[in-house]
């Protein structure tokens, strides 16, 4: 079939795409920016990529009419705008209007469990989107999930951060709230199994694993799987705002995402109707099994997608093309070049930079800069990177966003997402037997210039040491 996949660059979309292709479907991927959408070579000839912004009705004309089914995977738990719920509503309305003009027979929507009369803003927004989709001229299948457990999922990475970093936790009382987590592989089974299944048309289903756990039990369960001894004490005095800041400073999450999660975690998300398990023949795995599988994926550096690579994890706005041409006029530039001894060695070093590997020289200074960035509301260094040795356009790399990554060419361009009085780029290029390294800063006014000169003494130390480490074993 011809399948329309929205949210193709997201955590779920990236994992669903190869499964749809493997079943022989032709997939039309909707992305806002083609330059930040990486396709493996084995999928290029089997996928059509179109640029669509569902807040821009004119862009929806790129969607072909010959569509059999569509996946609606557009969510914004922590959009930059305070009125993200209104934007999600508008996106859904525009989607329905366009789908009504196509041949689509079924739309599958991944939503959140909404079995409480008092919903958080983000769960209420998902329910509102579901109501909009029901007005379409097509059949709608809604799958409602709670916490998704898998390598790279926002919830799982927060759990991992908390357990790995804090032997003792003083936590808010919402950690005693119950939820029904589900493994990412089971979510994908339900999404695939619902496709072209008339029994699922115009219905909604709760999907979850067999375990009903408190968030505290989930943290302790992860600790046990990771072989760590952890102690958790809950107190009633932590306000939602304080809880959000607690998550923000301890984990890799953004403050806005932390606030959205805290708001949702006060509401129980337990499945009421799991008849879809028998309908599709899916037997969801336990929480312990899901955690164990996720840890194996992380150990093998086999993480297909991560929430950190989504635009909501940082300060990046616009398209990659808008930033790819590094400016020279009215900029401060630190340029260095060195003759390389082994091109393959230097390339691998560049492609492994950041994350757990670090920046090869003066890591403690990078860590201080990341901490200061967190203090002023930036992303800090904790996002790391999705894969240890693999980088693609659009990925995050600590407090940078990857604009361009071509390993054969030996060129990597990064854009700073830290809080700055200006804009910054970091480039690496290998031409013949020479490595060229450039740090470019475009200041915004007086404070930008002051910032550059205040950090200038450290540049000779950091950047010279880094380029030397990139060329020498």
pLDDT, one tens digit per residue, over 29-64 is 999 888 878 888 888 888 999 999 888 889 999 999
pLDDT tens-place string over residues 300-341 = 888 888 877 776 655 666 677 778 889 999 999 999 999 999
Which has the closest alpha carbon to 201: 260, 149, 151, 276? 276
Q: What percent of the chain has pLDDT over 70?
A: 94
Q: Which residue has the higher pLDDT, 315 or 177?
A: 177
Give the SS3 label for residue 82: coil
State yes or no: pLDDT of 154 exceeds 90.
no
Residues 257-289, buried b or exposed e (16+ Cβ, 10 A)? bbbbbbbbbebebbbeebebbebbebebbebeb
Q: At what angle do helices 287-299 and 215-225 cross, to 10 degrees?
A: 50
Q: What percent of the chain has pLDDT over 90?
A: 54
What mean pLDDT comes out for the span 216-242?
87
State yes or no: pLDDT of 204 exceeds 80.
yes
Q: What is the pLDDT of residue 210?
A: 95
Q: What is the pLDDT of residue 128?
A: 86
Q: At what angle do helices 184-193 and 11-22 cross, to 10 degrees?
A: 50
Choice among 354-363, 379-388, 391-400, 444-453 with the minimum mean pLDDT: 379-388
Which has the closest alpha carbon to 311: 242, 219, 379? 379
pTM for this predicted structure? 0.87
Q: What is the pLDDT of residue 191?
A: 97
Task: Tell me the C-alpha distance between 276 and 247, whole Å.
Answer: 34
| H-run or E-run covering 438 | strand 434-443
Question: Mean pLDDT over all residues of the chain?
Answer: 88
Q: What is the pLDDT of residue 36?
A: 78
pLDDT tens-place string over residues 421-436 = 999 999 999 999 999 9
Q: What is the pLDDT of residue 77?
A: 53
Give the SS3 label for residue 265: helix
Q: Which residue has the higher pLDDT, 316 or 81?
A: 316
Which has the closest alpha carbon to 266: 79, 110, 119, 154? 119
Q: What is the pLDDT of residue 70?
A: 97
Q: At what angle do helices 287-299 and 184-193 cross, to 10 degrees?
A: 100
Confidence of residue 86 (pLDDT cuts 50, 70, 90): confident
Q: What is the pLDDT of residue 397?
A: 92
Winning range, highest mean pLDDT, from 122-131, 191-200, 257-266, 317-326? 191-200
Choice among 21-25, 104-108, 132-136, 393-397 with the minimum mean pLDDT: 393-397
What mean pLDDT comes out for the span 17-40?
90
Q: What is the pLDDT of residue 120?
A: 66
Pair 404, 395: CB distance under 8 Å: no
Q: How far is CA 371 from CA 166, 167, 366, 398, 402, in A?
A: 17, 21, 9, 12, 21
Confidence of residue 137 (pLDDT cuts 50, 70, 90): very high
* CA angle (75 as vertex; 70, 77 as ends), nearest 5: 170
Pair 390, 405: CB distance under 8 Å: no
State yes or no: pLDDT of 3 exceeds 80.
yes
Confidence of residue 413 (pLDDT cuts 50, 70, 90): very high
State yes or no: pLDDT of 177 exceeds 90.
no
What mean pLDDT comes out for the span 423-451?
95
Q: How far is CA 353 from CA 78, 88, 121, 378, 384, in A?
A: 28, 36, 38, 20, 10
Which has the closest alpha carbon to 240: 251, 222, 256? 256
Which has the closest alpha carbon to 305: 18, 3, 80? 18
Q: What is the pLDDT of residue 116?
A: 63
Which has the closest alpha carbon to 213: 191, 245, 181, 185? 181
Residue in this structure with the two tokens 């929430």, named with its chain if needed = 307
State yes or no: pLDDT of 184 exceeds 60.
yes
State yes or no: pLDDT of 281 exceeds 80.
yes
State yes or no: pLDDT of 225 exceeds 80.
yes
């Amino acid at each position: 079939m011809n399948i329309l996949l929205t949210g193709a660059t997201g955590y779920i979309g990236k994992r669903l795409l190869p499964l749809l292709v493997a079943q022989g479907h032709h997939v039309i991927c909707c992305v806002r920016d083609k330059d930040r959408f990486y396709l493996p070579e084995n999928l290029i000839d089997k996928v059509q990529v179109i640029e669509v912004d569902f807040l821009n009705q004119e862009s929806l004309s790129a969607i072909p009419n010959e569509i059999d089914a569509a996946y609606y995977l557009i969510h914004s738990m922590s959009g930059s705008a305070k009125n993200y719920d209104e934007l999600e509503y508008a996106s859904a309305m525009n989607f329905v209007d366009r789908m009504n003009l196509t041949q689509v027979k079924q739309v599958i929507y991944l939503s959140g469990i909404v079995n409480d009369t008092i919903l958080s803003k983000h769960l209420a927004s998902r329910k509102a989107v579901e109501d909009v989709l029901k007005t379409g001229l097509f059949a709608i299948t809604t799958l409602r999930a709670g916490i998704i457990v898998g390598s790279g999922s926002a919830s799982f990475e927060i759990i991992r951060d908390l357990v790995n970093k804090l032997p003792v936790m003083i936590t808010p009382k919402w950690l005693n709230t119950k939820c029904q987590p589900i493994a990412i592989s089971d979510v994908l089974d339900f999404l695939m199994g619902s496709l072209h299944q008339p029994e699922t048309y115009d219905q909604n289903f709760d999907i979850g694993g067999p375990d009903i756990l408190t968030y505290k039990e989930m943290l302790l369960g992860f600790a046990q799987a990771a072989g760590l001894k952890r102690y958790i004490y809950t107190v009633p005095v932590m306000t939602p705002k304080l809880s959000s800041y607690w998550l923000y400073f301890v984990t890799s999450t953004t403050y806005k995402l932390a606030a959205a999660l805290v708001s949702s975690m006060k509401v129980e998300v337990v499945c009421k109707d799991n008849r879809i398990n028998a309908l599709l023949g899916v037997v969801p795995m336990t929480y312990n099994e899901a955690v164990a599988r996720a840890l194996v994926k992380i150990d093998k550096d086999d993480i297909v997608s991560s929430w950190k690579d989504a635009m909501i994890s940082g300060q990046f706005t616009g398209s990659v093309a808008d930033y790819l041409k590094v400016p020279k006029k009215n900029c401060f530039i630190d340029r260095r070049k060195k003759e390389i001894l082994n091109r393959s060695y230097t390339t691998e070093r560049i492609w492994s930079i950041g994350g757990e590997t670090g920046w090869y020289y003066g890591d403690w200074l990078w860590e201080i800069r990341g901490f200061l960035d967190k203090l002023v509301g930036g992303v800090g260094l904790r996002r790391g990177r999705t894969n240890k040795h693999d980088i693609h356009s659009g990925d995050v790399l600590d407090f940078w966003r990857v604009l361009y990554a071509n390993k054969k060419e030996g060129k990597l361009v990064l854009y700073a997402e830290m809080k700055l009085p200006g804009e910054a780029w970091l480039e690496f290029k290998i031409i013949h037997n020479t490595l060229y390294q450039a740090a470019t800063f475009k200041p915004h006014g007086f404070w930008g210039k002051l910032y550059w000169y205040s950090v200038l003494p450290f540049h000779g130390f950091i950047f010279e040491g880094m380029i030397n480490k990139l060329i020498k074993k």
